[in-house]
């Protein structure tokens, strides 16, 4: 059975973002996926990459990439990182579920990437990048909400082009580490819509997560 890991970062359990994440879980389960959710706020996830990421002695000046490479060889990651790496190993599909904050990921989710996409496992050292990345063979997808309307995005539009805006995540994080990246699933400005429009948006999330095999590939 295929397995999905959803890494979710929204501080409010009753948010629309949370509702669409739950919709995604149900849609994937209906496609016979087993699903695991890392709900970063609920887990009180520590977003700070630092010496405490390792159980081996980090002596001298702290060089994060080297410490990560060492820990990848000696299995000496702190338990919270080791647990997320284990979830990733199990996963065929990774979903980042979040509200768009400052044209990017909430800091908690960025901190998850900093601490979990580690050198020596996700990329680098004995592992390559992009098509040779540590997570090759897995797919990934962004599932997010915005405050801006759909027409605010695009060539010449106020907020710019979404492909450009998302490049650092879809290319710089996911494809860099070997994931095949599927077209993002976006609910634009749920706060501005009617209850009916929001139900429609949840329906679109359900449909998108039910048809992953025909979803356009952005990278990989």
Ligand X SMILES: Cc1cc2nc3c(=O)[nH]c(=O)nc-3n(C[C@H](O)[C@H](O)[C@H](O)COP(=O)(O)OP(=O)(O)OC[C@H]3O[C@@H](n4cnc5c(N)ncnc54)[C@H](O)[C@@H]3O)c2cc1C
Binding site for ligand X (CB under 6 A): 10, 12, 14-17, 19, 99-103, 145-148, 190-191, 198
- CA-nearest of 204, 16, 174, 156 to 95 is 174
Q: From the CB of 93, what's the least distance to ligand X, in Å? A: 22
Determine the residue with CB nearest ligand X.
147
H or E segment and range at residue 185: strand 185-187
Between residues 191 and 207, which has the closer beta carbon with respect to ligand X?
A: 191
Identify the DSSP state of 92: S
Residues in the chain, overall count: 220
Q: From the CB of 146, what's the least distance to ligand X, in Å? A: 4
The string of DSSP letters for 121-140 reads: TTBBTTB-SGGGSTTTT-EE
Q: From the CB of 145, what's the least distance to ligand X, in Å? A: 3
Between residues 95 and 127, which has the closer beta carbon with respect to ligand X?
A: 95
Residue 2 burial (C-beta neighbours within 10 Å; 0-12, 13-18, 19+): middle
Residue that has been written with the tokens 């063979």 in this structure: 137
Between residues 103 and 130, which has the closer beta carbon with respect to ligand X?
A: 103
Between residues 152 and 215, which has the closer beta carbon with respect to ligand X?
A: 152
Q: From the CB of 177, what's the least distance to ligand X, in Å? A: 24
């Amino acid at each position: 059975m295929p397995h999905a890991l959803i890494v979710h970062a929204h501080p409010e359990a009753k948010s629309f973002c949370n509702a669409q994440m739950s919709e995604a879980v149900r849609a994937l389960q209906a496609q016979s996926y087993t699903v695991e959710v890392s709900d970063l706020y609920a887990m009180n996830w520590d977003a700070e990459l630092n010496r405490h990421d390792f159980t081996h002695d980090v002596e001298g000046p702290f060089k994060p990439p080297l410490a990560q490479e060492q820990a990848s060889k000696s299995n000496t990651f702190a338990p919270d990182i080791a647990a997320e790496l284990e979830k990733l190993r199990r996963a065929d599909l990774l979903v980042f579920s979040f509200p768009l904050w400052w044209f990017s990921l909430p800091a908690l989710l960025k901190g998850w990437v900093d601490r979990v996409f580690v050198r020596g496992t996700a990329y680098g050292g004995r592992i390559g990048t992009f098509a040779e990345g540590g997570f090759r063979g897995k797919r990934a997808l962004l599932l997010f909400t915005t405050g801006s309307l759909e027409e605010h995005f695009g060539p010449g539009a106020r907020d710019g082009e979404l492909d450009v805006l998302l490049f650092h995540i879809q290319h710089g994080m996911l494809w860099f580490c070997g994931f095949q990246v599927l077209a993002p699933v976006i609910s634009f400005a749920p706060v501005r819509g009617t209850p009916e429009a929001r139900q429609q948006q949840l329906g679109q999330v359900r449909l998108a997560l039910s048809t992953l095999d025909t979803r356009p590939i952005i990278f990989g």
